Structure 1
């Protein structure tokens, strides 16, 4: 079984830390990660983002759909950042139909989308697996997740994460999970801000959570995104709060980011 596109939106991460002399004990102590101003910005204001029509196995309609979602995300975050005094720059989107190298790295086996900080752009793989059943909320949430990585980039959390020291693969994977689960939570908060304008029901949200619970590290065995139940929990936590305040994965117990 292939990982859900929602969960496979893994930012291209390579931590070039071979020169680090000492590892830092947990919990994470960098204030850019644990006490970022992002957490004090309040709820993301409600705005409209009606979903565009999308067809099964139809790349052009998927491009229009996701571009529309990105436009909503850019407008929403621009307004939120202005109110909160945070930096803003638009994210961009691109599409491929076959895996290829991006941002200097090979395309991952389970990757449906990936964000590149230096380009402020994410690429979505529109293959048969992604487009076979595009009517659930997976594609919408996938774009919101990748935009969460964009927010991490704008608030300098991505840089702090890239350079945070670690000792061994276990600590490295936990840091990657904290980063990915934060993007998932931010994605949930974004979806909540648009929810009233979506022609969706609670059943649609519950279905997305069920899809999420059935994916994750249980399937990839990589240990770098989190168990399905934890991914779903952070997604739902962001959605219920509608605020980045709910998304401080860097101070969460290890059991919550396993």
Structure 2
């Protein structure tokens, strides 16, 4: 058996209707209730949280904006997750060892989940950005992975074993990242944010250094958007159980 060898970083179409599985997955998850039956799926819809964060175009105002957003997310999720511990936010100009110590140098800004915290490398691209939405989506997806870590999903995913099946490893990786997309939708609905088209925003701020990995990690853009919309439309984490979905819906 082999274990996963994938870098866990945040990265930052046609919608698919998500319904209960009607066919068996090619690689069903066995013996990992933290993934398939996590208590997260039973909590009520996230409450609406007034979050009047305004992003300016200075380092100080952008830093204050990021702190406000993470604070609002802590408020929303803290009302739903049992034994919740608020996410800490780390902001630096440079993380010399890459996102969460993965050893990859990223030239621009990024956000990622790191040891149950949210880590942001803040540079001029995000500071000068006039629209909050691309930055907000990336930070909120990093927070989604923080929720996955806090609820035991990340640890259970890393513990999965594979019998030399790269296709199986890829599929379960898609399940993890598409679940993060779905939880991002839940969060953005809670914050009351809207967009004409969420699709391009899901990858707008993905570090360019990871472009070649995105299909392998995240899967098809249409499926990513479908899961995002499932979370956004319901505001319920229970809509985000990618671990029981048919293979086609996480391809």
- Provide the TM-score with structure 2 as the length reference: 0.78
Matching of residue 95 in structure 1 with residue 91 in structure 2? yes
Answer yes or no: is the 8 Å Cα contact 1:87–1:154 preserved in 2: no
CA distance in 1, matches of 2:130, 2:180: 21
Q: Could you say what secondary structure the match of 1:146 adopts?
A: helix
Gaps of 5+ in 1: 1-5, 10-24, 199-203
The size of the alignment, in residue pairs, is 221
Matching of residue 45 in structure 1 with residue 47 in structure 2? yes
Structure 2 equivalent of residue 19 of structure 1: none
C-alpha distance 235-134 of structure 1, shift in aligned 2 (>3 A): farther
Task: Give 1:139 deviation, angstroms.
Answer: 1.9
CA distance in 2, matches of 1:134, 1:180: 27
Matching of residue 212 in structure 1 with residue 189 in structure 2? no
Once the two structures are superposed, what CA deviation does each residue of 1:142-178 show, in whole Å capped at 9, x if it has no partner?
2221121121112111111110112343322222221
Q: Could you say what secondary structure the match of 1:52 adopts?
A: coil
Match of 1:177 among 171, 174, 177: 174
Answer yes or no: is the 8 Å Cα contact 2:88–2:117 preserved in 1: yes
Answer yes or no: is the 8 Å Cα contact 1:113–1:125 preserved in 2: yes
Task: Give 1:213 deviation, angstroms.
Answer: 7.0
Task: Give 1:193 deviation, angstroms.
Answer: 1.3
Structure 2 equivalent of residue 78 of structure 1: 78
Q: Could you say what secondary structure the match of 2:119 adopts?
A: strand
CA distance in 2, matches of 1:115, 1:213: 16
Gaps of 5+ in 2: 1-8, 13-25
Answer yes or no: is the 8 Å Cα contact 2:109–2:126 preserved in 1: no
Q: Aligned-pair RMSD on alpha carbons?
A: 2.6
- Provide the TM-score with structure 1 as the length reference: 0.76
For residues 221-240 of structure 1, the aligned pairs below 5 Å read 221-222=212-213, 223-240=216-233
Matching of residue 148 in structure 1 with residue 144 in structure 2? yes
For residues 60-79 of structure 1, the aligned pairs below 5 Å read 60-79=60-79
Structure 2 equivalent of residue 28 of structure 1: 29
